[in-house]
Structure 1
Amino acid sequence: MAGWGAASISLKVALIVLCLAFVIFIIGFATKGWAKTEYPSEIVEISRRIPIYVELELGLWRYEYCNKARYDYRYRDNDIRRYNRNRHFVCTTNDIDLFIGGLRYCADWYRAVQAMECLGLILMAGALILLFLYFFVDSIKQKKYLYIIIGLTFGAVVCIVIGVAVFGSKIKETTYVFYLYKLGWSFGLAVAGAILAFVAGIAEIVELRK
């Protein structure tokens, strides 16, 4: 008999945790907070130099480049008003291809990370869909489908972990204007999604052994 009420606790845990893993991973996958760096710079104009901080934030698909006021520089009040009015302190979002194309030896490993995270997303989505069907469709409630769900779940975990491991190791070796990157919150969400998917996979194995 299929349905939520007829399901075991381990199967309910697997579905809830895998749903949570999928949502968290999607947020990390789509956002720009995978890595970040900040460095002092200045905007050079004909009659003046404007001290700024440049903040660069990377995602898998987009990056954001922001000019911000220097907190270690004392602006005159009229300077701040003039710079804001002239839009010196702005953020620009661009396709990640524009960024990685300008860094030596960066494109190959970045593409590999994108591919692994995409594959992880596809496998996790497949596991989640099949798990829903396993819950509510009597004809799907068979051990062979649970084996497939477990394989998809752990396959997703492996792909995501490979991707974040490559990103985490390589981005720390990457410099931009001699300033190193720090891992960001989106990277953390991707890791959290993988951990939760692993927990869901364990719950699925517990269900299989019954």
Structure 2
Amino acid sequence: MHHKVVIAVVGFVLTIVAAVFDVIGFIAPYWSWIDKSVSISGTVINLEHNEGLWRYCLTIVNVTSCGSQGDRDLGSWFTEVQITETLGLLCLLAAVVVLFVGIFVCKDVLKWVGIGCLTGAETFIVIGVRIYKQNGSSLRTDNTDFAFYFVIVASVFAFAAYACLGGYTYMKYRYDAFTMEIAGINLPTFVGFVLTIVAAFFDLIGFATPYWASGSLTVVNIDANEGLWRYCQTGSGTTECISTGDRNYGSWFEAVQAMETLGFLCLIAAVVVVILKLFVLKDKPVLKLVGIACLAAAAAFILLGVIIYGAKGTSLQTENLHFSFAFVIIAAIIAIVASVLFGIDK
């Protein structure tokens, strides 16, 4: 298969993945989830409330009742969220159809319409998320759940697909540039190698530094920050740090640590494998496939960890995300791009 077609197919697959994530986030009634206990006539009752774009559910004493969001008069801002997310999903579905036609039927359709649909999908999804966070009540924005984060992940995959199709468009007219060599290494592979190292560097910072969340506890005048492994508090000019293992976050935090550890190890493995392929075992094509698999696995594990942290973290954590959290997401995106570049080369 020609390199240009491979890039188009990768963009098509990423678009399908984005559509799957967005469909789940669009339908599932888990944009927010609240679990609290209330006292009624001296009896403590556990209440659970979850809602999505279209449905809300209330569970009292293991009895669940659900209704339509349209019956709740949430205001015009919520209608705007529904509209923008609907347009985002329609753009993604249109992109799937257009790219299928563009790749397998009429190639001329692919270049502009597919990229336009993906651009529209990204824009609408992000706008909807922003409206929800800015206008939703604190009970919503402090307790966002997996469906909310699934639409965000969908926008990330849509961006990756957009990058692939942009590369396809460029290669269609400038393919000679991709046959260039640097130090005897084809340009796509060389760029992929550099991006792999960059991804590992970003992930190392996000993995090691205690700044997944950072904020101020104004009541006691204390600044606090935490990462995957350390929690620190600063007050009166003195900083004290402890292990996050001593704070008893629960199994969800251990799951985040496990996913991010696996992602980091996969990135390190990718760096080692790529170095072996480029400079030591040049005649072993299987190493390229191993490198691509390591990069794909790294991105998947990192993003899973991010989703769990965003869905299960407390409001103090999810409302005060800091640079370490952003760095691991950047590392995942770069890893995806690097895997694509390795895939298009011979």
TM-score class, shorter-chain normalisation, is 0.7 to 0.9
Q: 2:227 aligns with which of 59, 72, 77?
A: 59
1:89 is displaced (CA, Å) by: 3.4
> Are residue 195 (structure 1) and residue 338 (structure 2) matched?
no
**Structure 1 residue 41: deviation in Å?**
2.8
User: Which residue is equivalent to 1:71?
Assistant: none
- Residue 129 of structure 1 corresponds to which residue in structure 2? 272
Are the counterparts in 1 of residues 202 and 327 from structure 2 also a CA contact under 8 Å?
A: yes
* TM-score of the pair, normalised by structure 1: 0.74
The one-letter amino acid paired with 1:146 is K
Letter in 2 for 1:59: G
Where 2:232 maps in the other structure, the secondary structure is strand
* CA-based RMSD: 1.9
Q: Does 1:36 align with 2:209?
A: no
- Is the Cα–Cα contact under 8 Å of residues 36 and 184 in structure 1 kept in the other structure? yes
Quick check: which one's helix share is greater?
2
Per-residue deviation at 1:91?
1.4
Supply the distance in 2 between the matched residues of 1:56 and 1:30 (Cα, whole angstroms): 17
Q: Deviations over 1:96-123 (max 9, x none)?
A: 1122x1xxxx311100000011101111
Report the secondary structure of 1:41's partner residue: coil
The 1:125–1:181 alpha-carbon spacing in structure 2 relative to 1, beyond 3 Å, is same
Task: Count matched residues.
Answer: 166
State how far apart, in whole Å, the 2-side matches of 1:119 and 1:180 are: 22
Q: Which residue identity lines up with residue 93 of structure 1 in the other structure?
A: C
Q: Is contact 1:123-1:153 (8 Å) kept?
A: yes
Query: 1:98 pairs with 235, 246, 250, which one?
Result: 246
> In 2 relative to 1, CA 107–140 (structure 1 residues): closer, same or farther, beyond 3 Å?
farther
2:303 touches 2:329 (CA, 8 Å); kept in 1? yes
User: Is the aligned partner of 1:14 residue 2:192?
Assistant: yes
**Runs of 5+ in structure 2 lacking a partner?**
1-180
**TM-score, length-scaled by structure 2:** 0.46
Q: Which has the higher contact order (CA 8 A, sep 6+)?
A: 1
SS in 1 for 2:228: coil
Q: Which amino acid aligns with 2:332?
A: A
Name the residue aligned to 1:158. 300
Instruction: For 1:141 and 1:157, locate their aligned partners in 2 and report how far apart those are by CA, in whole Å.
Output: 27
Q: Which runs of 5+ in 1 are unaligned?
A: 43-52, 68-87
Residue number in structure 2 paired with 1:148: 290
Partner SS, residue 185 of structure 2: coil
Measured against aligned partners, the alpha-carbon deviations of 1:40-93 in whole angstroms (never above 9, x if no partner) come to 234xxxxxxxxxx112111000011112xxxxxxxxxxxxxxxxxxxx432111
Superposition misfits of 4+ residues, deviation over 3 angstroms: none
Amino acid at match of 1:54: I
**Alpha carbons of 1:7 and 1:64: their partners in 2 closer, same or farther (altered >3 Å)?**
same
The CA distance in 2 between the partners of 1:180 and 1:168, in whole Å, is 6
Share of identical aligned residues, percent?
27
